Amino acid sequence: MNSVPATTTPYFPLTLYDLSMCCAMMGFIVLLAWQGKYGITKTLLWGALRAGIQLLAVGYILTWLFSVDYFVVVFFVLMIQSFVAAWQASRRQKIKIANLPLYLWVAIAGSSFVFLFFSFVFVIHPDPLWKGQVVIPISGMVIGNALNSAALSADRLVAELRSRRDQVEAALAFGASPWEASFEPRRDALHAAVAPSMNSMFVVGIVQLPGMMTGQIIGGVPPTEAVRYQILIMYLITAACFGTAWIVERLTWRKIGAAAGVWLDEHVTDNA
């Protein structure tokens, strides 16, 4: 009788000592920043401390969430993720636009949820569909990248409209509609918003091994299987980033670009 050899998963756990070595590594960087007087010492120190605390807390929370799998709980987590992402994206803006946090939340949640739902229904097929162990990590990656896209789109659109104001107003004077006159600023803003995700697609697998793929391989998943998931994630992130930038462009333009002549001065102010 032939016996099938047992397979083991090559999992490499990290001890508290290992984590202390990670802290030492960050401490060295903070020391270099302080010695060089670069002005980012406090930011580095606070960021490292905050990231560590947040991740440790999330580890315990996710352990509980993965054992629950209630639709209401998982949906609430996704709403919190998208709300925090919109709030953070609005804080990055150099300008102040009325209702901008709401616009960013609609864009991030609307675009991300549509493409996530499509992926869960037609690609991943988790059982149940709202299985927290699958939905929450993947949604976090997508919403996090959509945050960057939203922030870049809004900030770049206002910057382009300001720098090209004479060009836009000249086009309006020659009979172009506000939508037509603002085409180039809108186009460049969307290009800037989706450029990071597009650049990642060109170098993924050659220059960069993405975090999800690396984590799966370290966890024992065959590289060929990890690659399939990474393709899904890359396409999902790019689609969500484009959709977010597209929505932000339209919502922001409706606020500051639809009224010819006085649109910029009435609705946009610099953040103090």
Task: Name the residue ranges covered by the structural domains of the chain.
Answer: 15-67, 69-270
Residue type, 68: V
Name the token pair of 43: 């930011």
What's the pLDDT score for residue 269? 55
What's the pLDDT score for residue 226? 85
Contact (CB, 8 A) for 116 and 139:
yes
Q: Per residue of the chain (272 residues), give pLDDT as tens.
A: 444 344 455 667 788 898 899 999 999 999 999 999 889 999 999 999 999 998 889 888 888 888 777 889 899 999 999 999 999 888 887 777 778 889 999 999 999 999 999 999 999 999 888 888 899 989 999 999 999 999 999 888 888 888 888 888 888 788 888 888 888 888 999 999 999 988 888 888 777 777 778 877 887 888 888 888 889 999 999 999 999 999 998 888 877 755 444 455 555 555 65
Rounded distance between C-alpha atoms, residue 181 and residue 175, angstroms: 9
What's the pLDDT score for residue 169? 80
- Looking at the DSSP assignment, which residues form a beta bridge with residue 249? none
Q: What is the pTM of this model?
A: 0.79
Contact (CB, 8 A) for 263 and 257:
yes
- Beta strands (DSSP E) in the chain are 95-97, 268-270
What's the pLDDT score for residue 97? 75
Closest CA to 166 of 264, 256, 91: 264
